[in-house]
Amino acid sequence: MITIGALSQRTGVNIETIRYYERINLIPPPPRTESRRRLYEAEDVRRLTFIRHSRDLGFDIPAIKTMLALQERPESSCEQVSRIATDQLEAVEVRIRRLLGLKSELTRMIKSCDNGKVASCRIIEVLADSPNSHDAP
């Protein structure tokens, strides 16, 4: 049995985040000592490590809850887990395309700047002329 501080150190998850995960039932509430200190077991370390790694890969809380629930049925097909991972990969690819577009736009803006006066700064002009500004009333 380990304390919340030790759990935090072993998993790299902040103590407040661990408490939050308990509140939203991502991890079960641990038993407590008479002095109300939380005590965790090896299974809690494994579960929290799974959650942290899933979060690092960008999975949202509902997806993690689903995958944790599926772990409780080890004989089930992993098709749903595969679908969740595929959806996450597609979301990452969309973000990558968006970021590459942002990179291209920023590069273009910076190259068009002659580093003169702010009054004639091409970067300021481009930012002021956003695509949505034409739709304003």
As a whole number, mean pLDDT of residues 114-119 equals: 76
Residues 40 and 89 in one domain: no
Q: How confident is the model at residue 12 (pLDDT cuts 50, 70, 90)?
A: very high
Shared domain check, 93 and 50: no
Q: What integer is the mean pLDDT of 37-63?
A: 95
pLDDT higher than 90, residue 61: yes
Q: How many CB atoms lie within 10 A of CB 41?
A: 13
Per-residue model confidence as pLDDT tens digits over 65-104: 999 999 989 898 899 999 999 999 999 999 999 999 999 9
- H helices within the chain, ranges in order? 4-11, 15-23, 42-56, 61-71, 79-111, 122-128
Amino acid at residue number 50? F
- Does residue 83 sit in the same domain as residue 41? no
In the structure encoding, which two tokens stand for residue 101, read together?
A: 């577009």
Residue 38 sits in a domain whose CATH number is: 1.10.1660.10
Residue 71 lies in a domain: no
Range of the domain at 95: 77-137
Q: Give the pLDDT score at 26.
A: 95
Could you tell me if 5 and 54 lie in one domain?
yes
